[in-house]
Amino acid sequence: MGWAEQFEKDTCAIAAAVSVVGDPWTLLILRDAFLGVRRFEDFRRGLGVARSVLAARLKKLVQYGIMRIGADDLSFGRRQYLLTPKGRDLFPILLSLKAWGDVHIYGRGAEPHDSVHTCGCHIDPKFTCAACGGPIEFGDLRVNTRAAKKVGDALAAARAV
């Protein structure tokens, strides 16, 4: 049984999110979308991804309301794929992947892209609690389980199209 079928029986927001965006091509398509790529041909060329793979990933992102097709020109070649607000909310996932890759694969000082915050400083993103402002680190959480939908049912309800 593949991961998708297995994940659907789980009751977990991480499994749900991973089902939608947690594969290598999708994560890099999203990276490029945040960097301003919009057209099928530009995604394809930039990533070196097969057309069929790219088309399937973009279709799924539209299906879940993460991207929408720009209304200015719907002919396939000119069609634009734009991040929705739900898609832009994926930004912390990309940023945390970048932060980890910078520190643990490239190493400090050897990062391919230096990110500068609006404050002028080099970005060193930290998760903080919106309530108290304190840091959120592993071990700072208590997790309470409650009755909830299985991933498969939650995904079906979350589809926009």
Contact positions with a second copy (CB under 8 A) in 87-116: 88-107, 110-116
CB-CB contact of 151 with 15 (8 Å) = yes
To a second copy, the closest distance from the beta carbon of 75 in angstroms equals 28
Q: How many residues bind a second copy (CB under 8 A)?
A: 89
DSSP assignment, residue 42?
Answer: H
To a second copy, the closest distance from the beta carbon of 60 in angstroms equals 13
Q: Is 56 in the site for a second copy (CB under 8 A)?
A: no
Residues 92, 68, 76: CA angle, nearest 5 degrees: 130
Q: Which of 71, 72, 75, 126 binds a second copy (CB under 8 A)?
A: 126
Q: Which two tokens stand for residue 158?
A: 């979350």
78 or 88: whose CB is closer to a second copy?
Answer: 88
Amino acid letter, 101? G
To a second copy, the closest distance from the beta carbon of 68 in angstroms equals 14
To a second copy, the closest distance from the beta carbon of 33 in angstroms equals 11
- Token pair 């589809």 is found at 159
What is d(CA 95, CA 103) in angstroms, rounded to the nearest whole number? Answer: 12
CB-CB contact of 87 with 66 (8 Å) = yes
CB atoms within 10 A of CB 153: 12
Strands 67-69, 81-83: pairing kind: antiparallel
Q: Is 1 in the site for a second copy (CB under 8 A)?
A: yes
Please, which of residues 12-41 interact with a second copy by CB under 8 A?
12-25, 27-28, 31, 34-35
To a second copy, the closest distance from the beta carbon of 26 in angstroms equals 9
Please, which of residues 59-88 interact with a second copy by CB under 8 A?
86, 88
